């Protein structure tokens, strides 16, 4: 694989579903700053159902989305702030306000057969100077040829990127690949193709990697997989898998792993995975080393992540568990 892949992190939008839209200003600031430091290029912020989503039907936000957008924009140094808008939920004034508060990307989302309702919103976003992205939700529900027709409509309305959105987490690698490939073949070469994964079948990482092979150059994730259903592609897991696959993302694997751990702890969300379990795969060490490494790290007051990474560098394998204590002791000695 080659070429730079731009990652949008949706922790502060799709992840809003996970916390019942209860993000505080302080949480948004901390997460946005961590994502920016971790190399994420676009950070999406809004109610889980997009601008205007705070309502009886979709659930009220603890803090007005406009305040959260402003807070995120104030924290970042490099990343762009994105907002999601579903026509019929978000309206023109929401988009204008988001732009004024620091948003730079508008992601306009429709059902995969209703791209025609996005025209006015996309055209307004372009007039406001925003980067325009199109989101074709529930993309598993139609065949690739139908998805292509809808993607061409969004492209004609000014979408710079059109996303295959696996809203239900129902795609597997073969079906993700064929949809992305169909869009890549049909759209103008200057139009980007994106992929937004959910992990309901446990295929988020694999689906995203095959989407990239098929021509997607913009993909979505979220810290710890925060998101609707079983959650999204975990940004930190993708960062590690992408590096191992030769995919250029500019992401800081260890920084994002730590950020995910902090975010899940702060939000009170029980993680399906943690930083150390990620590092087992990232470092390429035996899975049963995890508890041993955590205990050794506690005994010598060192970071278990450092223990695992060093074990990986030494290519320690099952049956060499005695090396775990040695490595922890040596790390402590070096640290003084």
pLDDT, tens digit (0-9, with 9 covering 90-100), for 242-279: 999 999 999 999 999 999 999 998 998 866 556 776 77
Q: Is the pTM of this model over 0.85?
A: yes
What pLDDT score was predicted for residue 121?
Answer: 97
Domains belonging to the chain, first-starting first, are 6-270 (3.20.20.70), 276-335 (1.10.8.60)
Three-state SS sequence of the chain = CCCECEEEEEEECCHHHHCCCCCCHHHHHHHHHHHHHCCCCEEEECCCCCCCCCECCCECCCCCHHHHHHHHHHHCCCCEEEEEECECCECHHHHHHHHHCCEEEEEEEEECCCHHHHHHHHHHHHHCCCEEEEEEECHHHCCHHHHHHHHHHHHHCCCCEEEEECCCCCCCHHHHHHHHHHHHHHCCCCCEEEEECECCCCCHHHHHHHHHHCCCCEEEEEHHHCCCCCCECEHHHHHHHHHHCCCECCCCHHHHHHHHHHHHHHHCCCCCCCHHHHHHHHHCCCCCHHHHHHHHHHHHCCCHHHHHHHHHHCCCCCCCCHHHHHHHHHHHHHHC
pLDDT in tens, 59-76: 899 999 999 999 999 999
pLDDT in tens, 9-34: 999 999 998 898 999 999 999 999 99
Q: What pLDDT is attached to residue 1? A: 47
Of 80-84, 216-220, 228-232, minimum mean pLDDT range:
228-232
pLDDT above 90: residue 317: no
Residues designated as active site: 17
pLDDT of amino acid 316? 84
């Amino acid at each position: 694989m080659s070429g730079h892949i731009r990652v949008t992190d949706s922790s502060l939008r799709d992840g809003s579903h996970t916390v019942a839209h209860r993000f505080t200003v302080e949480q948004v600031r901390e997460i946005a700053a961590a994502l920016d430091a971790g190399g994420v290029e676009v950070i999406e912020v809004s109610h889980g159902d997009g601008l205007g989503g705070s309502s009886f039907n979709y659930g009220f936000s603890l803090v007005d989305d406009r305040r959260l957008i402003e807070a995120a924009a104030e924290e970042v140094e490099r990343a762009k702030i994105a907002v999601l808008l579903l026509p019929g939920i978000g309206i023109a004034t929401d988009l204008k306000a988001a732009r004024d508060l620091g948003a730079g990307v508008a992601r306009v989302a429709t059902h995969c057969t209703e791209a025609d309702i996005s025209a006015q919103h996309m055209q307004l976003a372009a007039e406001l100077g925003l980067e325009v992205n199109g989101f074709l939700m529930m993309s598993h529900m139609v065949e690739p040829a139908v998805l292509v027709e809808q993607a061409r409509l969004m492209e004609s309305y000014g979408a710079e990127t059109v996303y295959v959105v696996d809203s239900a987490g129902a795609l597997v690698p073969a079906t993700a690949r064929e949809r992305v490939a169909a869009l890549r073949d049909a759209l103008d070469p200057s139009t980007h193709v994106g992929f937004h994964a959910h992990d309901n079948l446990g295929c988020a990482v694999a689906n995203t990697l095959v989407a990239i092979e098929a021509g997607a150059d913009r993909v979505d994730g979220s810290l710890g997989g925060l998101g609707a259903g079983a959650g999204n592609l975990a940004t930190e897991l993708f960062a590690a898998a992408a590096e191992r696959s030769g995919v250029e993302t500019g992401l800081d694997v260890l920084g994002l792993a730590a950020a995910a751990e902090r975010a899940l702890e702060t939000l009170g969300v029980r993680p399906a995975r943690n930083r150390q379990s990620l590092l087992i795969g990232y470092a390429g060490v035996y899975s049963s080393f995890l508890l041993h490494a955590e205990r050794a790290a506690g005994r010598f007051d060192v970071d278990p992540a450092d223990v695992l990474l060093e074990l990986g560098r030494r290519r320690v394998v099952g049956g060499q568990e005695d090396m775990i204590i040695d490595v922890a002791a040596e790390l402590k000695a070096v640290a003084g």
